Amino acid sequence: MVLFINRKRIFLRNSDCRNYYFYQKTKMLSARFIKCTLKFKRPSGTSRGILTERNTWYLVVWDSESPQIKGIGECGLIPGLSMDDRPDFENKIKEIVAGINNHLYWLEEGLTDFPAIRFALETALKDLKTGGERLLYPSEFTENKSGIPINGLIWMGNYDFMRQQIIEKIESGFRCIKLKIGAIHFDDELALLKLIRKDFNEKELELRVDANGAFSPDEAMEKLKRLSAFYLHSIEQPIRAGQWEEMAKLCEITPLPIALDEELIGIHEKEKIGKMLDTISPQYIILKPGLLGGFGQSELFISEAEKRDTGWWVTSALEGNIGLNAIAQWTYTLNNPMPQGLGTGQVFSNNIPSPLYIRNAALWHDPEKGWDLSRIIHE
């Protein structure tokens, strides 16, 4: 254990468990953060490469007068996708911790370029305000009386690997499946879809695909036409983000609905959100609070989308159970009956034990299970 003291801040580093603590002792709020690495149960393929692990940072906030009550938020990065994926990311967390009593500034304008940290701070403060029990939005969901319908996620891989995942999801009762595409040969991906549709028609099983921007604008329409033969619910981000005119052309004549995902990242102002939606006119948008900057920012997207009759649903951004729990509780309050993308908590082998569990293709919350926060909270 190494101790560094610099004026009002105390920096403790435990080199074995890689936990970092920053304290600012005041009469109001104090905070610290802890960095952990979540391990995937099996390598998970995306168009940006194979994922075997991901780093996540837990932000812990408490009132100095009641230190036993702690609010916890989570910020995780997706390399090559998150705006926060930059060299000064951890320094920014240290700055937030040192200036935690300026939290209103951080939430309103100070973290525009760090949406994952803003999401974590918003969650931690909300958790602290509601008693530090990870009960941010009490509802029938948090009482284990109602679940949230979710889609089954199929990771990229070779044909046999993806086929086995599909069989497992269907046998588990999922009636909405999302396939990551763009990594193997397109004809093999079409063969997988044909295999599914042979046994399940579009009324029996909803199919979504996510290209993560893998198609070029020149080839996208032809591929959309071939995909439409399998009566898909939608395709996420067929071409990479930032090509508004090309995406608008696709959305105008597409044979299957298009959902924007990465396209939303980095857009903050209400006016620019409206301009993006008016220019592209997508059929759906997908909300990831950890990539957009929290719940308030996500609700701004929802409001602007609904003004234009644009559909939407919520997914996680591969957060661990702290972040997923917050997103799920918030999502339930939105009363969106569509299957949401909230089944990612089971992909990690060392996720924090929590009340979340999956039953009958839905995410549930059992308060009797409780939390094991020993890796985060050290009294």
Catalytic sites, residue numbers: 180, 288
d(CA 302, CA 331): 12
What is the maximum alpha-carbon separation in the chain? 68
Q: Residue 242: phi, psi to the nearest 5? A: 95, -5
Sign of dihedral through CA atoms 232, 336, 73, 364? negative
d(CA 289, CA 326): 10
d(CA 198, CA 249): 32
Q: Are 149 and 338 in contact (CB under 8 A)?
A: yes
Q: How far is CA 245 from CA 151, 212, 276, 343, in A?
A: 30, 18, 10, 33
Q: Where are the alpha helices (DSSP H) in 172-313?
A: 186-199, 217-228, 244-253, 270-280, 289-292, 295-307
Hey, what are 305's tokens?
């989308």
DSSP character string of 107-142: IIIITTT-HHHHHHHHHHHHHHHTTSSS-SS-STTT
114 CB-side CA count, 13 A = 24
